[in-house]
Amino acid sequence: MENKRPIGIIGAMGVEVRALLDAMEETGQERFAGLVFHVGSLSGAPCVIAQCGEGKVNAAVCAQTMILQYAPRLVINVGVAGGVGLNIGDLVVASACVQHDFDATPMGYPLGNLFLYRDEGEPEQRIELPADGAAAALLLEEAQAIYGGAYSGIVATGDQFVADKAKNQWLHETFGAKAVEMEGGSIAQVCYMNRTPFAVLRAISDNADGGSPVDFPAFTQECAAKTARLLTQALGRL
């Protein structure tokens, strides 16, 4: 039955999934590729939660394994991100994800242009991978009450921690990004290829411009607690 399929939740760092694991009723766990998949429920809604590790490859391995092993009906990526024109403490719910470091421009392709072999024949070319509209809308609505500012927008992903004013501005101008991080766009691509709906929730932990004053670990923990609250409330409605 469709609604018995779990919702998958992936966070890169331990601190990003710990509060969710504490809130979940765990019925079992399995290990694949060194990653631990916690199976159970959150507020009665079946879910599987995993920590993938930082970066695009770790995130892709986790998302693909989760899809093959648990057939989630929705994958939600949670975590922190650098803000592009936003304030620390705000939340971005992805409308779509891009991979800002995917660069075949010398071959004449626009920056971030992905080659997607989901269907037969020539690969589909896309820069933006759209998140599930209904899930994003519901998560945004729930988030308004918990976060100072909750916004829908483009999440830009790459295998680099961005802490540079010029790069931050470039992310805004090139992709219209609101947040920059290291996993969302990779999970989005895996989900797109598998026709699995996805959502990305990112709390802004730093300004991604070299002038981040916050204590990153402490702040991430605070954000994770809020995300756990948000998902505990929202999961039953998704």
Q: Just list the catalytic residues.
A: 16, 206
Q: Is 200 in the site for ligand SAH (CB under 6 A)?
A: no
Q: Which of residues 74-93 bind ligand SAH (CB under 6 A)?
A: 79-82
d(CA 24, CA 18): 10
Q: Is 7 in the site for ligand SAH (CB under 6 A)?
A: no
Q: How many CB atoms lie within 10 A of CB 29?
A: 14
- Closest distance to ligand SAH from the beta carbon of 18 (Å): 13
| Cβ neighbourhood burial of 56 (10 Å; 0-12, 13-18, 19+) | buried
Q: Which residue has the tokens 């992905």?
A: 114
Site for ligand SAH (CB under 6 A): which residue of 206, 219, 227, 230? Answer: 206
Q: Which stretch binds ligand SAH (CB under 6 A): 33-41, 115-123, 139-147, 174-182?
A: 174-182
d(CA 100, CA 218): 27
- Closest distance to ligand SAH from the beta carbon of 92 (Å): 12
By CB under 6 A, how many residues form the interface with ligand SAH? 17
What single-letter amino acid sits at 139?
Answer: L
Q: Is 51 in the site for ligand SAH (CB under 6 A)?
A: no
Q: Is the dihedral of CA 225, 211, 53, 110 positive or negative?
A: positive
- Closest distance to ligand SAH from the beta carbon of 43 (Å): 26
Q: Which is nearer to ligand SAH, 45 or 62 (CB)?
A: 62
Whether 40 and 29 have beta carbons less than 8 Å apart is answered as no
Q: Which is nearer to ligand SAH, 39 or 224 (CB)?
A: 224
